[in-house]
Amino acid sequence: MMNPEFTARVLAIVRRIPAGRVATYGDVAALAGKPQAARAVGNIMRDCGRADVPCHRVIAAGGRLGGYGGDEALKRALLLAEGVVIHGSRVQLLGCRIAGVRKVGRKPGRLYNRRKKDPRGQMGKAPRGHRRRE
């Protein structure tokens, strides 16, 4: 069973997506305060049968259209009618993705926990503020 507060936040966010713009399931989850809940947003969109919620404006990661009650052709037609550019089975995210979404990484410390090797196989420089273990 889905959390009713989270569901209400997701539906409110989706209602605010203007015509001609799209958001990914992950974008909506991040705006709703749960950046890890992209799949939950997909489930909410799948079960939402309300006419006042433009579910067709929520797409999968990387611009894929994703599902729309099993009718991907209808989702494509609705997005094209709003002026969204689609190449093949992907939406051109540049220029039509909603603004104000700041993605939060799954493992924020990972970047600093691993040192990259340079092409010669030697260990690279440790990130600023970190000491290298010998």
Q: Is 55 a catalytic residue?
A: yes
User: Ramachandran region of residue 50, left (φ > 0), alpha (ψ -120 to 50) or beta?
Assistant: beta
CB-count burial class (<10 Å; 0-12, 13-18, 19+) for 55: buried
14, 17, 55, 58: the active-site residue: 55
3-state secondary structure 43-55: HHHHHCCCCCCCH
Q: What is the distance between the alpha carbons of residues 82 and 98, in angstroms, rounded to a whole number?
A: 14
Tell me which residues are annotated as active site.
55
